[in-house]
Structure 1
Amino acid sequence: MWTVVPLTAISLVPPLLSGANTATTTALVVLHLVPAAVMIPTLARSLRTRTD
């Protein structure tokens, strides 16, 4: 988790710096956050079960 959160934050930088309009920037940020919200807990759970 300590690695995933900063990497997710870093992945939001390019859409914010792209110079696109607000709707496009919002869509790009949401399209980064929605998969992260699904994948991060799932991966954390699967890694936790492997190490227990």
Structure 2
Amino acid sequence: MADLISALVFAAIVLVAVGLAWAVIKRLLEFATSLIINSLTAIVLLFLLSFLG
């Protein structure tokens, strides 16, 4: 019985850890993609400005 309880506790801890890690990774991916999009937009704007100017 104690083995079952400890196994359930371990499974719950693993699930929580995986959930937290997934949330952090998702947040980092969103941040990275927005950063890439912003820098690409800035590069395109600079190119257009230099082309027009």
TM-score (structure 2 length as normaliser): 0.49
TM-score (structure 1 length as normaliser): 0.50
Higher CA-based Rg: 2
User: 1 or 2 for the larger relative contact order (CA 8 Å, sep ≥6)?
Assistant: 1
